[in-house]
Structure 1
Amino acid sequence: MASAATFLLIIAAAAWISLTDAAPSPSSSFVPPPPCAPPQSAVAFLRARCASTLYGVACYESLLPYACIFQTSHVKLARAAGDVNVAWLRSISKRVKELVARGAAGGTAGPESAVLRDCASTVSSAGGLAKQSAAELAKLDATGATVGRSQVRWAISNAQTWLSASMTNEATCADGLAATGAAASSPVAREVVMAVVRAKELTSIALALVHGIPVPP
């Protein structure tokens, strides 16, 4: 059976494709990287940056495929983390909506159904907020060294605010299901909780990497 990290990369890769098919935006220009052997400097950089997060292993495994792109750039690394986070949230949002629609079609009612409907809304909102953060990082990446100190601070602050709000929405979904006790008895609710827990990890990783972006003097 594939590991959770492997499954994450498969889902993220599929979502990358949908991102490139979407309407043009700063974040959608970040495309899946071709297979490559990253230089040791990039690998060492990733290990060091991931050590500053709460989920070092998940950070390293999910972002290693993009090491040839970010190399030793803090902004590009944070951008990659943000876009992987968006991809995962998009996949969760789609899955929860499918589960809600299936329950409605089958006449399913009760607390679990209501909480799943709430989750569909909050996870969708979380994805929208994460996308805003990713777009902010993409703009910062595009400006490169030409951007000033105040602009970098502003971009970092915006990205952090949106990622923090995204985590709040993710927690609302997970806490709602936990409060009903559905996760203990329902495979559907348990699937959603596990996916949202992974989303919270990825959002936390992106938030930590954004926090680590150096501000020019």
Structure 2
Amino acid sequence: MAKSSLIWLLLSTLYIASTANSASTTRSSSGAANFIKVSCGATAYPALCVQSLSLYASSINQSPRQLIQTALAVSLDKAQSTKTFVYKLTKFKGVKPRVKAAIKDCFDEIDDTVDRLVTSVKELKKMGSSKGQDYQWHISNVQTWISAALTDENTCVDGFSGKALDGRVKNSIKARFDHVERVTSNALALINKFGY
């Protein structure tokens, strides 16, 4: 009888401990989700910000630095997939010369965007635990490179202006570049919010 009471007590204790641990994890992920939602309120595209960063809530937790790094990584991922897409378009046959030239220009612009975002990610990693003026210098570099990446993204879409360049190619490139521009803009807004 004493043995079964001891087993019952042990199982009850384990159940209570696992329930408490589960509640703690739920509170932690709820806190991370809320942190992301509140932080994304400072961006131009808050719904997209929440949607793209919520997948990484457990690694972001409530760390502003991890939030910024994740936002930049999302932006870089979208830029790289857009670069691959535009590269494939440069290989299409039978495209009008003006459209082909606009696609080539877009490839150059997205290539520059990817380079600037890669440099920004590396700069954030180099920051380590720097503080004060050193920290501000790193943040300033990242802000400059991301702003330049946004300019590159807009330049591509501008290259398709005019009715002669309307069509499926323009629409598909514009949709992808718009998405990259939005996640990049959100990353910059988060850096501006937490960088100072």
TM-score above 0.5 = yes
> Hey, what does 2:106 align to over in structure 1?
119
Q: What do the CA deviations read for 1:16-47 (whole angstroms, capped 9, x no partner)?
A: xxxxxxxxxxxxxxxxxxxx966111111101
Q: What do the CA deviations read for 1:67-107 (whole angstroms, capped 9, x no partner)?
A: 111111111101000011011101111110111112xxx24
> Hey, what does 2:147 align to over in structure 1?
164
Looking at structure 2, the residues matched to 159 and 66 of structure 1 have their Cα atoms a distance apart, in angstroms, of 21
Identity of matched residues, %: 27
Give the SS at the match of 2:44: coil
2:170 to 172, 189, 192: 189
Q: Number of residue pairs matched?
A: 171
Looking at structure 2, the residues matched to 68 and 138 of structure 1 have their Cα atoms a distance apart, in angstroms, of 19
Comparing both structures, which one devotes a greater share of its residues to helix? 2
- Superposed, which structure 2 residues align to 1:124-135 within 5 Å? 124-135=111-122
Say whether 1:208 aligns with 2:189. yes
Contact 2:49-2:183 at 8 Å conserved across structures? yes
> Hey, what does 2:80 align to over in structure 1?
90
Gaps of 5+ in 1: 1-35
Q: Are residues 180 and 155 of structure 1, via their aligned partners in 2, closer, same or farther at CA, if it must alter by over 3 Å?
A: farther
Gaps of 5+ in 2: 1-24
Could you tell me which amino acid in structure 1 is paired with residue 38 of structure 2?
A
Contact 2:116-2:146 at 8 Å conserved across structures? yes
> Hey, what does 2:64 align to over in structure 1?
74
Looking at structure 1, the residues matched to 94 and 188 of structure 2 have their Cα atoms a distance apart, in angstroms, of 40
Could you tell me which amino acid in structure 1 is paired with residue 181 of structure 2?
K
Structure 1 residue 135, shift from structure 2 partner: 1.5
TM-score (norm 1): 0.74
Structure 1 residue 181, shift from structure 2 partner: 4.8
Contact 2:136-2:195 at 8 Å conserved across structures? no
Structure 1 residue 180, shift from structure 2 partner: 5.3
Looking at structure 1, the residues matched to 144 and 158 of structure 2 have their Cα atoms a distance apart, in angstroms, of 21
Which protein shows a greater Rg? 2
Looking at structure 2, the residues matched to 169 and 110 of structure 1 have their Cα atoms a distance apart, in angstroms, of 22
Give the SS at the match of 1:53: coil
